[in-house]
């Protein structure tokens, strides 16, 4: 039964499951746990943290803590919705149910655009990482990476899961190794680092060396480093025992943020002064080189390539599922809802991969300016999606309190106050976008995208009215 059928027949939403959507439960608990870990670790930490440290100094650690708290609230809110009704469409489905059809339409297409734009960026940088070892044009690598990830996602959900498991494992090993080596340097004096000491966190200009304002502005950079953590919600329709598995994955989020982000940054800025790190250079490479680890740049380059492959893999997976959800709601062409004999949304995956090829073309034509606009879609789009999760959670809780829906046994602590606080935080980040050139670009692109979504919805409703009129005239 499709989503549109449920709307007509009044089938209770809690009757919907992964199997009734046509999917199979091919993702094990082990795979979901690693997807949850890998979703929160990407190039934002391995590469982008250098520029963030340069702007905020040790205050970046506090920024990651604050943003991490907001992300945890968002994920616990999503977790409560997922235990109420675990579906592959996740936040788009909840937007449909609790806010309305336009909200579901906008959420689904915005999330699809977020991952398409992200994948365009990742396959492009993958080409640059490969150039470190081989003299191959970046667009060729981008095309090969996209083709391999596309094929893997077409074969089975299990192959996607296994790929993501090992991609995530490499990222985790890299961070844990850096933390362990860094602690060895601090405690036992290993390596050749100059003056490694925890006092570097406050002795060189204080915790806020550039002032509170620049430290506040870095929140927008920090927040987008967490993009991908919500991917766990998309796996709900294909996870084995989703209510238990997803709960475990979300519960470990504070530990993951504390270890992989806060812990890593504490070690990095203890081994070397924050003034050592700059934009355009991985802080991991800087630390490894200061310690005296041979081939440090090559090691981190391999990890960065892994992170790009992981992001592309996840993007193809999530966009294919989101297009199918939109199709089931008759908000995307019906063909995009088709499943293969392996229960994979092959048409949605194919359409998404075709859109990502634009990234390869852009890389050939205008790799800088055009790309800034494309990646801005993911910037503003993910804020909207996360905000919609929180709004849906507030409306769900209101229905529970009125006795209209069953309460979940996995509740967000402190709600609705924590939900409102997280919404306010996202609002603050939107305001901060206006104080940065790239942020203002994201806002402009966001307005254009909102207009396109609005026009698309108007066209959809008009077409449906026309069909309804023609059908009634025929009868």
Residue 475 lies in a domain: no
Residue 415 lies in a domain: yes
Query: What pLDDT shows up at residue 13?
Result: 42
Beta bridge partners of 27: 239
Confidence at 4, pLDDT banded by 50, 70, 90: very low
Confidence at 258, pLDDT banded by 50, 70, 90: confident
* Torsion of Cα atoms, 347 then 349 then 351 then 352, to 10°: 160
Confidence at 358, pLDDT banded by 50, 70, 90: confident
Residue 84 lies in a domain: yes
Burial class (CB in 10 A: 0-12, 13-18, 19+), 180: exposed
What is the enclosing helix (H) or strand (E) of 372?
A: helix 369-401
pLDDT tens for each residue of 326-356: 998 899 998 998 888 888 899 999 999 999 9
CATH number for the domain including 412?
Answer: 1.20.1740.10
CA neighbours within 13 Å on the CB side: how many for 392? 31
- Written as six digits, the tokens of 306 are 């892994």
Beta bridge partners of 239: 27
For 27, phi and psi rounded to 5 degrees?
-105, 115
Mean pLDDT of 27-54: 79
- What percentage of the chain has pLDDT greater than the value 70? 92
Residue 190 lies in a domain: yes
- What percentage of the chain has pLDDT greater than the value 90? 38
Q: Is the pLDDT of residue 101 over 90?
A: yes
Q: Is the pLDDT of residue 441 over 60?
A: yes
pLDDT tens for each residue of 190-230: 888 888 899 999 988 899 999 988 888 888 888 888 888 88
Mean pLDDT of 88-115: 92
Confidence at 61, pLDDT banded by 50, 70, 90: very high
Residue 473 lies in a domain: no
The CA–CA distances, whole Å, from 439 to 210, 221, 370, 383 equal 20, 10, 15, 12
Mean pLDDT of 369-379: 70
Which domain does 205 fall in, by range?
Answer: 3-9+30-466
Q: Which residue has the tokens 């199979």?
A: 24
Contact criterion met (CB below 8 Å) for 285 and 119? no
Q: CA 138 to CA 146: how far, in whole Å?
A: 12
Q: Which residues contact 119 (CB under 8 A, 6 or more apart)?
A: 146, 311, 312, 315, 316, 319, 356, 359
Cα angle 35, 397, 65 (rounded to 5 degrees) comes to 45
Q: Is 151 helix (H, G, I), strand (E, B) or coil?
A: helix
More confident residue, 291 or 454: 454
- Going by the DSSP 8-state scheme, the letter that residue 226 receives in this structure is T
Query: What pLDDT shows up at residue 76?
Result: 94
Query: What pLDDT shows up at residue 2?
Result: 40
In Å, the largest CA–CA distance within the chain is 85
Contact criterion met (CB below 8 Å) for 81 and 99? no
Residue 146 lies in a domain: yes
Residue 245 lies in a domain: yes
Contact criterion met (CB below 8 Å) for 287 and 273? no
Residue 438 lies in a domain: yes
Query: What pLDDT shows up at residue 342?
Result: 82
- Written as six digits, the tokens of 50 are 């250098």
For 239, phi and psi rounded to 5 degrees?
-90, 140
Q: For the residues of 94-142, what is the DSSP string, one character each?
A: HHHHHT-HHHHHHHHHHHHHHHHHHHHHHHHHHHHHHTTTS---HHHHH
Maximum average pLDDT range among 246-260, 332-346, 370-384, 398-412: 398-412
Q: Which residues contact 449 (CB under 8 A, 6 or more apart)?
A: 110, 113, 377, 380, 381
Confidence at 315, pLDDT banded by 50, 70, 90: confident
Confidence at 6, pLDDT banded by 50, 70, 90: very low
Mean pLDDT of 11-24: 49
Q: For the residues of 384-408, what is the DSSP string, one character each?
A: HHHHHHHHHHHHHHHHHHTTSSPPP
Q: How many domains does the chain have?
A: 1
Indicate the length of the chain as a whole number: 475
Contact criterion met (CB below 8 Å) for 389 and 397? no
Confidence at 369, pLDDT banded by 50, 70, 90: low
């Amino acid at each position: 039964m499709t989503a549109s059928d449920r709307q007509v027949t009044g089938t209770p939403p809690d009757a919907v499951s992964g199997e009734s959507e046509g999917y199979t439960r091919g993702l094990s608990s082990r795979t979901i746990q690693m997807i949850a870990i890998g979703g929160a670790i990407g190039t934002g930490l391995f590469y982008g943290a250098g520029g963030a440290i340069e702007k905020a100094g040790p205050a970046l650690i506090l920024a990651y803590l604050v943003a991490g708290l907001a992300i945890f609230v968002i994920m616990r809110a999503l977790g409560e919705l997922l235990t109420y009704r675990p579906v592959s469409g996740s936040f788009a489905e909840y937007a449909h149910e609790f806010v309305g059809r336009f909200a579901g339409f906008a959420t689904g297409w915005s999330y699809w655009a977020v991952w398409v734009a992200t994948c365009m960026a990742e396959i492009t940088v993958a080409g640059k990482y490969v150039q470190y070892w081989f003299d191959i044009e970046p667009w060729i690598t981008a095309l090969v990476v996209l083709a391999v990830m596309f094929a893997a996602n077409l074969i089975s959900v299990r192959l996607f899961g296994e790929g993501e498991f090992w991609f995530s494992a490499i990222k985790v090993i890299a961070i844990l190794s850096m933390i362990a080596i860094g602690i060895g340097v601090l405690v036992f004096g290993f390596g050749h680092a100059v003056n490694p000491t925890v006092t570097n966190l406050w002795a060189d200009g204080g915790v806020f060396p550039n002032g509170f304002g620049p430290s506040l502005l870095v929140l927008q950079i920090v927040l987008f480093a967490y993009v991908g953590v919500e991917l766990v919600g998309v796996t709900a329709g294909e996870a084995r025992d989703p209510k238990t598995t997803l709960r475990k994955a979300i519960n470990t989020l504070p530990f993951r943020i504390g270890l992989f982000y806060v812990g890593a940054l504490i070690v990095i800025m203890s081994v070397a002064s924050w003034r050592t790190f700059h934009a355009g250079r991985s802080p991991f490479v800087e630390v490894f080189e200061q310690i005296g680890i041979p081939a440090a740049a090559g090691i981190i380059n391999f990890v960065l390539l892994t992170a790009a492959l992981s992001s592309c893999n996840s993007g193809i997976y999530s966009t294919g599922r989101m297009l199918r959800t939109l199709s089931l709601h008759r908000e995307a062409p019906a063909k995009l809802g088709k499943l293969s004999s392996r229960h994979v949304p092959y048409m949605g995956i194919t359409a998404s991969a075709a859109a990502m090829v634009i990234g390869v073309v852009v890389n050939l034509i205008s790799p800088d300016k055009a790309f800034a606009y494309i990646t801005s879609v993911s910037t503003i789009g993910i804020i909207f999606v996360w905000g919609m999760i929180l709004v849906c959670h507030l409306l769900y809780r209101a229905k529970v309190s009125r006795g209209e829906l069953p309460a979940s046994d996995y509740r967000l602590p402190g709600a609705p106050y924590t939900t409102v606080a997280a919404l306010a935080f996202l609002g603050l980040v939107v305001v901060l976008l206006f104080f940065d050139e790239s942020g203002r670009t994201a806002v402009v692109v966001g307005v254009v995208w909102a207009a396109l979504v609005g026009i698309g919805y108007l066209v959809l409703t008009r077409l449906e009215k026309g069909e309804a009129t023609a059908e009634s005239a025929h009868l």
